[in-house]
Structure formats: structure tokens, C-alpha cells
């Protein structure tokens, strides 16, 4: 696991750390290194964003071979972390957040 320059783990919730550790295992299964590109925002997110409270992270995806593999990885992550997490595939990253229902 790596952090993009400037990303810090300070203030990360334990629930998000669980999700990040699960993601790390999934990335390794796909022979990739998990790179966290954002946790606490460097730019202002909406006031309600889970990034502001250490409950969300963005995970790099550009090194996956194609869109199908990105979708597969996102689905594996959704299934592994369960219903209390939102996992959203964006064009440049996968967003994971702890959001209990």
C-alpha cells in the first residue's frame, strides 16, 4: 500500500481503515499496489462529504488493464466490505466510504 504525496492517515476512522485493508488485499490479488490518492481533502468537498470526517478514501485505478477489470475490482470490494460501505467507481478512482445504513 502506498499514499500519494501529501496524503496523511491522521484522522482516519477505524471503519475506513478496515475498508482500506480489504482493498489492499484485493489490489494484491490483481497484482497491483493500492495507492490512496485522497482521504482528508486537500480541496474543499461538500460540507457533508465523508472525506471531511475521515470516513472516505479515493483509490487509484488507472493501472488496471481496462474498464472491465476496474468494475470487477469495485464489485469485489463492495462484496468484501458489506452493506455499511459505499463503493463507487469513478473514471479516475474508486471511492470508498463508511456509511452505515
Grouping H, G, I as helix, E, B as strand and the rest as coil, residue 2 is: strand
Domains contained in the chain, number: 1
Q: pLDDT tens digit string along 43-94?
A: 555 555 776 778 899 999 999 989 999 999 999 999 999 999 999 999 999 9
First to last CA, the chain: 28
Res. 28: pLDDT tops 60: yes
Please report the beta strands in the chain, taking only residues with DSSP state E, as ranges in sequence order: 2-3, 35-38, 56-60, 85-89, 93-98
CATH at 15: 3.30.1380.10
pTM: 0.89
Q: Which domain holds residue 25?
A: 2-98
CB atoms within 10 A of CB 66: 8
Grouping H, G, I as helix, E, B as strand and the rest as coil, residue 59 is: strand
| pLDDT at 10 (0 to 100) | 83
Amino acid at each position: 500500500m502506498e499514499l500519494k504525496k501529501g496524503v496523511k492517515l491522521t484522522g482516519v476512522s477505524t471503519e475506513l481503515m478496515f475498508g482500506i485493508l480489504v482493498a489492499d488485499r484485493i489490489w494484491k490479488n490483481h497484482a497491483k499496489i493500492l495507492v490512496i490518492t485522497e482521504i482528508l481533502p486537500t480541496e474543499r468537498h461538500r460540507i457533508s462529504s465523508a472525506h471531511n470526517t475521515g470516513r472516505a478514501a479515493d483509490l487509484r485505478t488507472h493501472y488496471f488493464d481496462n474498464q472491465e477489470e476496474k468494475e470487477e475490482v469495485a464489485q469485489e470490494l463492495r462484496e468484501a466490505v458489506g452493506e455499511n460501505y459505499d463503493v463507487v467507481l469513478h473514471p479516475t478512482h474508486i471511492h470508498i466510504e463508511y456509511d452505515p445504513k
